[in-house]
Structure 1
Amino acid sequence: MKPLPLLLGLWMFSGSAAFSQGAPELIYYRFDGAGTSVPNVASAPPPGSNPATIHGMMSQGGSGQFGGGLVGTGGFSNNDYVDTGWVVNLTGSWTISLYLSGIPSTTTVHYFFGDPSAGLFRCHTNGVAGAGNLILRGPFPDVLATGGATTEAKVTHFVYDASVPEFRAYVNGALVNTVPTGAVTLAGTTPLKLGGYTVNEGLPSGAVLDEFRVYQRALSPEEVALSWNRRLFGADTLEFTDLKPFKAS
């Protein structure tokens, strides 16, 4: 029989290897700090994206998926937003995921991220999305994620798989929509805003956005299921405790 320390070490190594390989390549904002600076702990951050900068009255704190989160004000996005510094450039497959909680059921359209220079690329709730839902829009067919924006905590993945091509939307690890599309290229000239879009109303007052991740690949259904409720390794840490599970409301 192998000694217990050796077995534990092998288990920790296998778990860490699996999740470190699954870290987002482009963007990984955790919002666990203080002040207006948000480190990008992705494995290969694009120029300008590390750190992101919080503008206006938005703040880091509250209770996110793991640790803190970005706390909304309900203000307009010309004042209250996060400047990622990242000029959107996505070709081939990609995945965007985010955690949201405390989204009220209203008729007001609230935006969570977007870049108008990249083919009006944006994500919002209400309006054509309907209350309680998220929608991803841009130079492609609308992608609805039913149930992705409620008062309860939800994690939504938008996966663009160029090999099909199609979009897949997941909420809390479960597939909720598949949308056929043509080839999609997103090429912006201005930085992506997080927590808002252009001058529209952004993250609602008291709502929380957390674990914003952008991958330069299409996550498989298995990867989505394994990672949606886990804090992933980032460039700032190699601690096994980062594999902390999250229980949805």
Structure 2
Amino acid sequence: MGKIYVVGIGPGNKENMTFKAYETLKNSDIIIGYKTYISLVEDLFPEKLLIKSFMKKEVERCEETLKLAEDGKTVSLISSGDPGVYGMAGLMLEVAKNSNIEIEIIPGVTSSNASASLGGAPIVHDSVNISLSNLLTDWEIIKKRIDLASQGDFVITLYNPKSKGREFLINEARDIMLKYKSKDTPVLIARNVGREEENFVITTLENMLNYEINMFSTVIIGNSNSFILKNKIITPRGYRIIHK
């Protein structure tokens, strides 16, 4: 009987992949994942059997992974970032609930952490992750979560902030946050983190919509104490600093 690994490959480059993730993929018989994620690792493992899947085929992907493992293969099902943060870990465990196949989750560097490192230290204090994708979660529920997180003065990281067909969601999200957060609240927009096209911009809640935001972006909105210093966002934890 084989084994399943659900592996977080990080934001996209080998440098940000953990040693354990790399070794797990190296020692697997088969690597399976969404086509974009497979494209990020195929040059690292040219000798491996790589199986590409497509958007909205997540259940089928997990079912195929389970069947391959039951046939005796060691299979790595990959997610970008961390498989437990909007990744495949939960679904794989659900699909395999009646199987005796061993499943191990291999963590990875998630988008909020990788993006934050580009823009300073914006998530040093209490923060929440909210996905703006309404494919699996009702938009009214997402809006409620944004509202409550803003009321609580959390730093907010927005995943899946914008795509064709739902460009209005980021606009509504910003309007909700502006009810509770200052228009001058620092905002980090990071795009294609860990990939060749990586870039970021630091702006404010008022001006954030003036910059490109897409499905390859992560948007981090500070709290009431966040500030910009030398083009970096800092969200202080409250330490007392005595300058000499």
Q: TM-score of the superposition, structure 2-length normalised?
A: 0.27
Bigger RCO (CA 8 Å, 6+ sep): 1
Kindly indicate which of the two structures has a greater share of residues assigned to strand: 1
| Structure having the higher Rg | 2
Kindly indicate which of the two structures has a greater share of residues assigned to helix: 2
